[in-house]
Amino acid sequence: MQIKSGISYRHGGDYRIPLSKADFEYWSESTVPMIGIVYDPDDRLFRWVNITQYILGLSGPPGSYIPVDGKAVLSFASLRGEFTASVKSTNVGFRRHPLAQLCDGSTEAQHHGIMDCFILGRADPRLFFGLRYMLFQLDPSVFEIGVVALAHLTPHIQIFFGETKNGSQRK
């Protein structure tokens, strides 16, 4: 999810989510549907857009923002209706398989692979086994992220307390 808040995202009766080159690359390679939410504090309503569908529908280079229809209000009814239908109909697939991302030499790709394994592993636990198997092949700078992701798979109160690698206290 990409969540924005404030009137600076409002343009006329619609809204815009900024789209950088890095965002476009990350969102277009995501293995899960990306959703944009904009909160307008003036009317206290949330608007939404299926970022993945928008990106997949582009026929040219991306612009500098993703448009959000001012009428696409997120409510209990739309959440159970068009929002859910939109997410379910978004066929993302594995543009870049999460386990392949773990094998990448880029720490950013490895980080994305860990997050994708964590998200998609709920539907296919083999991804957790793959992450565990690949753990010691990861760059040391993302190793702890992999350990934390795997630690969250079991009920263990200690994962929420203790010191982090940099000595700060987890809360």
The reply to whether 55 and 8 lie within a common domain is: yes
Among 57, 89, 121, give the residue marking a domain's end: 89
Model confidence at 114, pLDDT cuts 50, 70, 90, reads: very high
Q: Which of 62-66, 78-82, 103-107 has the lowest mean pLDDT?
A: 103-107
Q: What are phi and psi of 160, to 5 degrees?
A: -95, -5
Asked if 106 and 60 sit in the same domain, the reply is: no
Please give the pLDDT value at position 81. Answer: 94
Residue 54 predicted with pLDDT over 60: yes
Q: Give 92's pLDDT tier (boundaries 50, 70, 90).
A: low
Same domain, 73 and 129: no
In terms of domains, do 9 and 68 share one? yes
Q: 69 and 112 share a domain?
A: no
Max avg pLDDT among 56-60, 96-100, 151-155: 56-60
> Domain containing 164: what range?
98-170
One domain, residues 60 and 138: no
Shared domain check, 104 and 75: no
Do 83 and 125 have their domain in common? Answer: no
107 and 69 part of one domain: no
- Count of domains observed in the chain: 2
**pLDDT greater than 90 at residue 67:** yes
Mean pLDDT of 49-55: 94
pLDDT at residue 109 in the model: 87
Say how far apart CA 153 and CA 122 lie, in whole Å. Answer: 10
Category of 169 on φ-ψ map: left (φ > 0), alpha (ψ -120 to 50) or beta: beta
Mean pLDDT computed over 82-86: 93
Task: Count Cα neighbours of 16 within 13 Å in the Cβ-side half-sphere.
Answer: 10
- Strands 45-50 and 35-40 come out as antiparallel
The answer to whether residues 49 and 42 touch, using CB atoms and an 8 Å cutoff, is no
Q: Kindly tell me the sign of the dihedral angle through the C-alpha atoms of 29, 107, 37, 148.
A: positive
Q: Do residues 10 and 82 share a domain?
A: yes
The residue from 72, 89, 106 where one domain ends is 89
Boundary-marking domain end, from 64, 89, 114: 89
What is the pLDDT, as a whole number, of residue 95?
59
- Do 47 and 115 reside in the same domain of the chain? no
116 and 84 together in one domain: no
Average pLDDT, the chain: 87
Mean pLDDT across 108-128: 88
102 falls in which pLDDT band (50, 70, 90)? Answer: very high
